Amino acid sequence: MFDQFDLQFFSLSNFIWTVFVFAGFGFSVCLHEFGHAIVAYWGGDRSVKAKGYLTLNPLRYADVTTSLVLPLIFLLMGGIPLPGAAVYINKAALKGPVWKSAVSAAGPLATFVVALEISWLMAVLPTLNQLFPIPHEELLFQGLNLLLTLEVAGVILNLIPIPGLDGYGILEPWLPSPWQRQFRSYGRYGVWILFAAFWFVPSFSQGFWAIVQLIDRPLGASPALTALGFARFRQGAQLLFVLLIVGWVAYDKWRKRQPQSGRTAPDSTGDLQTQLATLEEQLEHSWEASTLSQKAWVLTKLERYGEAATCIEETLKLRSDVHSDWLLKGYIHQHLEQLPEAIAAYKLALNLQPQDPDSWTALGRLYAHLQQYDEAIGAYDQAIHHNADPTVHVSLLHLKSHAYFYLQRYQDCLALLEEVFENDPKNADANYNKACCYAQLGQVELGIAALDLALTENSAFRQQAQNDDDLMGLRSHPHFSELVS
């Protein structure tokens, strides 16, 4: 895997150069993931904002093992720019198959844009160097050639239609549901199968890099400079790899020594993966329902829904009288778009615990997703009746008001929104929904006033208001354009 050190390359300056190249590659991975997240947000998954994915900060969606160590190993072993970070998209929230495909395509598109920018920079650098001499120009060109090749390779690699890669993600929404479920269960093996193909099938690797060079050359890459840059990178990266491993081990030991202030839910992919490994080790010694249920929950948080479904079924074989297991089963089936199974699971959860507001809320949301709004309102009423948390109460009133809106019961919707204002007088969501109701009722002045209040409290609504058909009745007002611009 590792070459012998070459003293020509192995120096402090070369190590710093390697760090900068790796940082450039890491930044492009951030742009790739940001591409997924922003398109998902536009497509209806608002959870990506709450998860902190609408940023270029790698710490929001990266963990050291998958985002730094593994990609570095792959680069050292064969120059394969395997993806090293991930954003977790709630596909059930996306507006349709077109958006699901677009979310998957957005990552490779962002990577290709980076490749075009590097190509442009390489084209203008000779002119800039004549005007303003650039120190270590040859090192800069080697780094840019290497990065350009890695970006092009990353685009082609991600577009291969293997489960776990973006190429499959583009195709998946158009496949029959049984095929989707089957392929999802193999998703975690896709990258490893691909890596094995590079390692053990020379013709596959040769064909891949031939395609990369075919695209590379029109973009201005030099095979000689790329090879030289990669050789230099591998020498410096060996030390970088050692330092990362030492740093990670030291950090892990420090973290374990920190006092714990009670049990908290894991909030990063690394924590979840660690917990999953611990649970799997426990199951090897004792096949217990409680451990299986925890494993199903962790798999769900990792959005590995196919595996989570199998795990919760094993749990229910061992015990079938725990309300939370059925609630989790419903949640899993809902994300797998197996909606009849999800409804049945939620109802079984309610048979065991009829006063649980979470189960009633989940059932109401599912009915609303199916556009069965009368049933949704009944479920929300039960959730409101059994809920004692004021904050949750406001959220439930919102959900119920949405159902009234889609039933065109606008006066009932407005009455509920007034209840929201009693608890939260400056609620921007309620004012925005109020504006939509008034727009449907033709009460333009009241609608404009409510929209003004909503945008004052939350300017993020401006972009949504520009194209929201529910506000169509307000567009003729002279102040509408001024408000949303």
Q: Is 314 a catalytic residue?
A: no
Structure token digits, residue 447:
């609608």
* R_g over Cα of the chain: 27
* Cβ–Cβ under 8 Å, residues 457 and 428: yes
Number of helices and strands (H, E) in the chain?
24, 0
DSSP-derived letter for residue 11 is S
CA distance 119 to 147: 10
- Under a CB-based contact definition with an 8 Å cutoff, are residues 18 and 240 in contact? yes
Say which residues have a Cβ less than 8 Å from residue 410's Cβ, sequence separation at least 6.
Answer: 404, 437, 440, 441
Say if CB 240 and CB 13 are below 8 A apart. no
Q: Where are the beta strands (DSSP E) in 221-362?
A: none
- Look at residues 281, 369, 357, 287 and name the one whose alpha carbon lies nearest to residue 333: 369
Catalytic residue among 33, 151, 172, 307: 33
DSSP letter at 4? P
Whether the CB-CB separation of 166 and 105 falls below 8 Å is answered with: yes
DSSP 91: G
CB 59 within 8 A of CB 133: no
Query: Which contiguous run of DSSP H or E holds residue 159?
Result: none
The tokens for 4 are 């012998």
DSSP 55: S
* Neighbour count for residue 355 (Cβ, 10 Å): 11
Give the residue numbers annotated as catalytic, written as ranges: 33
